[in-house]
Structure 1
Amino acid sequence: MRFFAIAIYLFLAVVATAASIVSLREGESRAFRLSALLSAVAVAWAGVLWEVAVSAPWLATCSTVLAAVLITAALLPYDPVRRALRTSAPPSKNVDERDVIFARRRLVSGTTRFEAYYSEHPEKRAVDDRWRARPGLLSTDAAFYQPLWFAAADASFDTIEALHPHVDGPVENNRVPLDAVEATRFVKDWLKHSGAHSVGVTALRDYHLYTHRGRQEPYGEPIRKRHRWAIAFTVEMSHELLRFAPLAPTVRESADQYLRAGAMAVKLAWMIRKLGYPARAHVDGNYEVICPLVARDAGLGEIGRMGLLMTPRLGPRVRIAVVTTDLPLVPDAAQPDAAVIDACLHCRKCAANCPAQAIPFGPRVDEQGVLRWRIDAEACFTYWSTVGTDCARCVRVCPFSHPDN
C-alpha cells in the first residue's frame, strides 16, 4: 500500500508540474504558482509516506483513499447542459446607436448636436466628461503610447474609414437565380479561404438592428430592416500579441483584425450585389446591426461575462463582421451554449483582472427577460482613454482564449 500511495502522489506531482509549465509558457503567473505549489506538496507528501508509512501503515491507506477521492472527483463526467441554467429570451428592446459610447465619443463639445444629446441625456454628461478629460484612444499623451504601434493601429482604422463608402451600393439589374444550399456553401468556403475562422447564417431579426444611426450620417436617422438574412463571421486575433494586453501591441492587432474582417465583408457584399441581390457590409465604425447578437444567433458562440462573443475554439479572441442580404441562404441552427454560460458563472477571471473593474463578479441579471452580464462601458472606456489602447486584458486572461483551451 505504501508504494502504491507514493506512486499516486508522484503521478499527481507530474501532472501538476506539466500544468505549471503550460501556465508559465502562457504567461499565467497565478496558475503557474498554484500548479507549482501543488507539485511541491505532492512530492513532499510522497517523501513523508516513504519515511513514515512503514511504522504507520494507516497513513498510507488514508492517503491513498484521499488521493482516489480527489482524482475521481476531478474525472467525473460533468455536463453543464443538464444543470438548470435558465436561457435568455431575445431582447425586447432595441439599442439606439446614439447611446453607444463610441457614438458619444464623436460628439463635439459646443456643437448643436452635442448640446442636444446631453440635454436629452443629462445623466451621461458627468461620466462622459471624465473620459473626455483623459488623453484619449491612440493619443500621443496616453500612458502606453508607443509611436510605431500606435501609428500602425491608426493607419488600419483610417483604412477602415476608407472602406465605409463601399459597404453598400447599387445592385445589378439582372438577378442570377441561385440555389440556397449552393450559395451558402460557396459563401462559407470563400470566407474561410479568405481567412475567416468561423462563418454562420441567421435570419435577420429586429433586435439585431440599432434603432437610429449614431456614428454615421445622417445622424439620428431611423434604421429599417431591409434584408432577410445575416452572414456573420469571425477572424482570429493573435494570441502572441494579446499576451501584451493592455500594452500597445494589442491595439495594433485589434485594428489589423477589424480591417481584415471589414475588407472581407465589403468584398462579400460587393460580390452579392453583382449577382443582383442587395447586400450591406457592417464593419468597424459603420454598423446597422449589433454584431455579437447576430453572431450568436448564427451559431458562432455565446455572449460571456465580459460582454463579448465567446467562440468554442478561440473564446473572445476574435473580431466580427456581418453582411446582411437577400441572397438565398440556409440559416444555421443555433442553440444556447450552457457550457460557456456555466464556465463564465464560475470563472470570474476576466472580472478579477479587469484594470477598470468594469466587469461584474455576480450572476447574470434579468433585464426585461434578457439574462446578461452588464459591463460598465463608461469605466472601460475611461481606462482606454487613459492608456491609449483598447486594453483586451479580459480577452488575454480568458481560459477560452488559450490555444489549447
Structure 2
Amino acid sequence: MPDLSIYSVLLVATGILLFAFLFYAAVISLLERENRAAVRALLLLPVTILFIAPVFFVEYYGEWPVMGMLFISWFLIILLIFPTRFFERKITRYDPVGQINEKNVMFSRNLLEPGTERYKEYYKEFPDHEAPDDYFRSKPGLLNEHAAFYDPFAFNTASAILNSVKAFHPIVDGDPAQKISDIDPGKIASYVRKWMLREGAVSVGFTETHDYHWYSVIGRGDDFGKRAQLPHSHAIAFAVEMDKEFVDTAPHAPTVIESAHQYMRAAVIATEVAMILRKLGYHARAHIDGNYRVVCPLVARDAGLGEIGRMGILMTPSLGPRVRIAVVTTDMPLPKSSKHDYSHMIKFCRICKKCADVCPSKAISFDDRKAINGVKRWQTDQEECFTYWCIAGTDCGKCMSDCPYSHPNNLFHNVIRTLIKNSIIFRHFAVKMDDFFYGRKPKPAPVFGWMKSE
C-alpha cells in the first residue's frame, strides 16, 4: 500500500470515529440492558470497512474514490448536525385562559361513590361524564386483584406506598411562625433549591403563580367543592426521576410501584420544604399526590423544568416524561428561574408520535396541537387512558417508557438530545434511529424475578 495522502488519512480517521461511536453505543446499550440496540450497533460495525477499503485501491483507481467517499461522508455528517434552530420559526408560548375544575379530573371522578349526594350532584352538573365513567367503573380498577396485570407483591406494595403518602396530607399546610425571618429570601431560595437536590430532586425551578396555575374548585377530600386558590404569590416546582428499569416494564406491575415510590419521594421533599418555609415565618403549602390545589405540569413548565409534550404531561430536557413532579406554593418572594426555550421538544413531538403509536388505549392524538382554552396544546383522551388503567390495574406508563427522551441521562443520550435540539434534520433522523435500535413498538421489559410472587 502506498504512502497515505491527507484524503486517505481523513477517510480512515472518519471510519475509526464511526467504529468507535458504534462500539460505544453497543457498550452503553449493554449496560442499559438494551440488548436489541447493542446487537444492532455491533452489526453495523462492518459498515466502517467502507471507509478503509478505498485506500487499498488508490494505486489502481487513484484518489478519486477516496475523495468521493470522504466528501459524501462529511457532507451527510454536516447536514445532520448543522444547527438549523437559529433559522427555525419560533414557537410562541401562550398562557392558558381560565382555570381547570379539579372535579373533572379522572382521579376525582374515580372517588365518587354511586348513591351519594356528591355523586348525584356531580353528574347533574356534568351529565356527559356519566356514561364514560360508568364504563371505567365496570372494569376491575386500579390496583384491583382482578385486573389484567395483578401481582400481589407489586399491587400491595404500591397500595402501601400510596397510603403512606396520604399520611402526609394533614401536614401539607399549617400556620407559619409568628415572626418572618430576617434572612434574605434570595438566600433562603438558594438553600431550599440545594436542599431539594440533596433530597433527590433532579431539577428545581421558581416561578410567580398565576390564576391558571390553580384549580378553580377542589375536587377531592373534605374540601370538595371549595375554592382552590390560595394567596400565595410564588411557587417552587421540582421533579424526581423514575427508575428506567421499572418504567421499562410498562404497562406491567413494577411501573405502578415506581410511580408510587416517586410520589412518596416527592411528598417527603415538598412537605419538608413547606415546613422549613413556615418555620421561617412564611405561608407555604405542599402540593402532593392526592392533595393538589395547583396544576403541577403548568407550574413546572413556567418554572423552567420543561414543556408540555404530545402526551399532555411535562417533558423535561434530560429525562423526558420519566419524572414525577410536585410543587410548594408560598408567599415568600422567590427569584425567577432563568427562561429556557424548550420549543425543540414540541417540534420533536410533532415528528415522533411514538407515544401515540404505543398507547394501548389509543388515547394520545396523532394530530398537531389544537387550540384548547386559548392555548395550542395536545390533550390526551383522559377517559380512554384511565379506563385502560382500570383494565390493567396499573398506571400503564407505556408512552413514558418508549419516549425517545426517556433514555438515561448520560453522555451518549445527551449528545443525541443536543443534536435534536439544534437540528431539524437530525430530529427526523433520530426518530428513525430510535425505531431501528429500540423498535417502533418495543416489548415491555420482563418483570424482575425477585418481584414475582410465583
The answer to whether the superposition gives a TM-score over 0.5 is yes
Structure 2 Cα separation of the partners of residues 3 and 230 of structure 1: 59
Q: How does 1:270-349 map to 2 (within 5 A)?
A: 270-349=275-354
1:171 and 2:172 are equivalent in the alignment: no
Go from structure 1 to structure 2 and tell me whether the alpha carbon gap of 1:47 and 1:224 turns closer, same or farther (over 3 Å shift): closer
| 2:72 is aligned with 1:66 | yes
How far apart, CA to CA, are the structure 2 residues paired with 1:344 and 1:385?
Answer: 27
1:157 match: 162
CA distance in 1: counterparts of 2:374 and 2:27, whole angstroms: 44
**Where in structure 2 are there 5+ consecutive unaligned residues?**
414-454
How far off its partner does 1:20 sit? Answer: 4.6
| Residue of structure 1 in register with 2:443 after alignment | none
Q: Which moved more, 1:293-302 or 1:309-318?
A: 309-318
> Hey, what does 1:359 align to over in structure 2?
364
Mapped pair 1:92 → 2:97? yes
State how many pairs are aligned. Answer: 403
Residues 294 and 38 of structure 1: CA distance in aligned 2, closer, same or farther (over 3 Å): same
Measured in 2, the distance between the counterparts of 1:331 and 1:141 equals 48
Aligned to 1:193: 198
Structure-2 separation of matches of 1:376 and 1:349? 16
TM-score normalised by L of structure 1 = 0.89
The corresponding residue for 2:393 is 388
Q: Which residue of 1 aligns with 2:435?
A: none
8 Å Cα contact 1:304/1:373 also seen in 2: yes
SS in 1 for 2:349: helix
Shift of 1:310: 1.9
Q: Per-residue CA shift, 1:60-99, capped at 9, x if unaligned?
A: 66544433332222232x2435411322210012100001
Residues in 1 aligned to 2:13 and 2:124: alpha-carbon distance in whole angstroms: 72
Instruction: Decide which of 366, 369, 373 is 2:374's aligned counterpart.
Output: 369
Between the aligned partners of 1:44 and 1:315, the Cα distance in structure 2 is 36
- Cα distance in 2, alignment partners of residues 330 and 46 from structure 1: 53
The 3 A distance-change label for structure 1 pair 10 and 53 is: farther
> Deviation string for 1:257-309 (max 9, x for gaps)?
10111122112212222222211111100000001111111111221222222
User: In percent, how many aligned pairs have the same letter?
Assistant: 43
Q: CA deviation at 1:215?
A: 1.3
* Aligned partner of 1:241 among 222, 237, 246: 246
Query: Within the alignment, does 1:132 sit opposite 2:137 as a pair?
Result: yes
Q: Does the 8 A contact of 2:15 with 2:52 survive in 1?
A: no
Post-superposition CA distance 1:209-267 (Å, at most 9, x none)? 00001012221112233111111111122122222222211111110110111122112
Pick closer, same or farther for the CA change 1:61–1:156 going to 2, 3 Å: same
Of 4, 19, 25, which aligns to 2:25?
A: 19
Q: CA RMSD in A?
A: 2.8
Cα–Cα, structure 1 residues 6 and 182, in superposed 2: closer, same or farther, change >3 Å?
A: closer
Contact 1:81 1:338 in 2 (8 A): no
* Unpaired runs of at least 5, structure 1: none
Partner of 1:231: 236
C-alpha change, 1:55 and 1:354, in structure 2 (3 Å) is farther
Cα 1:54/1:353, change in 2 over 3 Å: farther
Contact 1:291 1:322 in 2 (8 A): yes
Q: 1:99-152: per-residue Cα shift (whole Å, max 9, x none)? A: 111111111122222222223222222222222111111111111111112111
Report what 2:187 is aligned to.
Answer: 182
2:273 aligned residue: 268
